[in-house]
Amino acid sequence: MINAITNYIVALFQKDELVNTITFKDNEVVDIEKENVLPLVSIRFTNRSEDPDNELYVYNYKIGIYQQRDTRKVVQPSKLMEDTNWIDNLAECESIANNFVNYIERIEIDENINIDSLSDLLPVSNYASSNLDGFSFDYGLSYPNTGYCGC
């Protein structure tokens, strides 16, 4: 089932016209290769838990959504960060996160996949000193436990 859930997540981000690169990693290091076209979505599987009361498996992931910060060299930099696109980056990454969550919660009602948990969007600034800004968040997707029953 983990394969189906992960493919489902990747397919949702592939549908989003704002997303250019999607990576799936087994560690917390985001793929910051120069060849990547940003914005970039980084997906990391963290664990699978169970909700026995509702007969569900919960697949937990960490998502990072990043965009490149552009800075202009100006004689007197703005105290309001007007010399960067930091707020624009956050707005674009927030839109990608909202599209993902809204699709599962509001549009994709025919699937048995539902959001079980969703953390706050945590802003990321200058990730790994590579001028990447955006958001990260954790979420869990639930799927009915319809495995083998020896009844």
List, for residues 96-143, the tens digit of each pLDDT value.
999 999 998 887 666 788 889 999 999 998 887 778 899 999 999 999
Residue 70: per-residue pLDDT: 79
Residue 9: per-residue pLDDT: 94
Distance in angstroms (rounded) separating the CA atoms of residues 44 and 56: 21
Give all strands (DSSP E) within 12-144, no chain letters: 21-25, 40-51, 56-68, 114-118, 122-127, 132-144
pLDDT at 149 > cutoff 80: no
- Model pLDDT for residues 11-41, shown as the tens digit of each residue: 999 999 999 999 988 777 676 666 778 899 9
What's the pTM?
0.84
- Model pLDDT for residues 61-94, shown as the tens digit of each residue: 999 999 988 766 666 666 665 657 888 999 999 9
